[in-house]
Amino acid sequence: MTSYRAGDLERRYSRLDVHEDVFINYGFVADHVFRLMHPRRGQAPWSSARGRHVKRLLEFIRVYGPVHPRQVDDHFSLGTVTNYWGGSSSATTHLLDAMHYRGLLRVVRREAGIRIYGLSEHDPGALDVRERRRRVDALVDVAVNVYAPLPAASLSYAVRRLRYAVPQWSSELTGALQRARQRLAHARVDGVDWYWPAGEQPDVAQPDDTVRLLAPFDPVVWDRKRFELLWNWPYRFEAYTPVPKRRWGYYALPLLWRDRVVGWANAAVTGRALTIEVGYVADKPPRDRGFRQALADERARLSAFLGLAD
């Protein structure tokens, strides 16, 4: 989308047919994907005490409409809990997150980065085996459409991660993987089995003469095993790596040139200008004279995306 600018998704979120939710990772999913996953159950039923809190919270939001966690905390004062990192978090926020995950609430918008929650209604009816499997297979296809081509080990990993999307159907995932291996197009290359959507022809696409700086979680980059198979170097996300041990940088962006990832870049905004520091796998940039201009074009595109002066 050439006219997209940083923050557009957040600004337009309430008018778009998308949801914040857990799929393979947490992020934005289209409405049809959201409906394939819900109603979602957790790994275990609510305790009696938590069930009472959930019921009161639902009644509160039904009366007052979308709420900021602070409003709920002021009203219920549920105290604090130990969070995933071992620190202390608001028990209200923790419960709202759990209710959101189970599909009882949805994020209607954000205010200063804070989720504002509203009710989310679903048909609670039970699904038969055929419908469950149809939905799980459809979710596998969504993942494959995003991340393919996938080596066999990565296909298995992606399907297993659907346990976060549909924990209520985790027992269906082994069968879904077997069906996917039969359904998807595949080929064996250099001893590795690769899978991609049936009907696609990955060997026909021609790379264009551009440079792209990819996010660390871009579909091209997300599967680190595939990344190393294709480009023969081990990119790592180092935001949580101690500074002295970093090789690529805090938020290094893999640098895609045509069909090769030739290096990485660290970008920073100074004032109203974008600065980019580039490193190369071969310790020097590609010799092709078009590369320098393509890198300059990508810098200009990124500046426009961020709304900065070029």
Q: Which burial class, exposed, middle or buried, applies to 194 when counting CB atoms under 10 A from its CB (0-12, 13-18, 19+)?
A: buried
Helix H, strand E, coil C: the string for 245-288 is HCCCCCCCEEEEECCEEEEEEEEEEECCEEEEEEEECCCCCCCC
Shortest CA distance to 310 belongs to which of 295, 293, 297? 297
Structure tokens at 35: 């409906």
- Residue 85, pLDDT score: 38
**Each residue's pLDDT tens digit, 117-162:** 999 977 767 789 999 999 999 999 999 999 999 999 999 999 999 9
**Each residue's pLDDT tens digit, 249-306:** 999 999 999 999 999 999 998 888 889 999 999 999 999 889 999 999 999 988 888 8
Domain-by-domain residue ranges, the chain? 40-119, 129-196, 211-306
CATH class of 40-119: mainly alpha
**Full-model pTM:** 0.88
Confidence of residue 7 (pLDDT cuts 50, 70, 90): confident
Q: Is 192 helix (H, G, I), strand (E, B) or coil?
A: strand
CA atoms within 13 A on the CB side of 107: 23
Structural contact between residues 220 and 230, judged by C-beta atoms closer than 8 angstroms? no
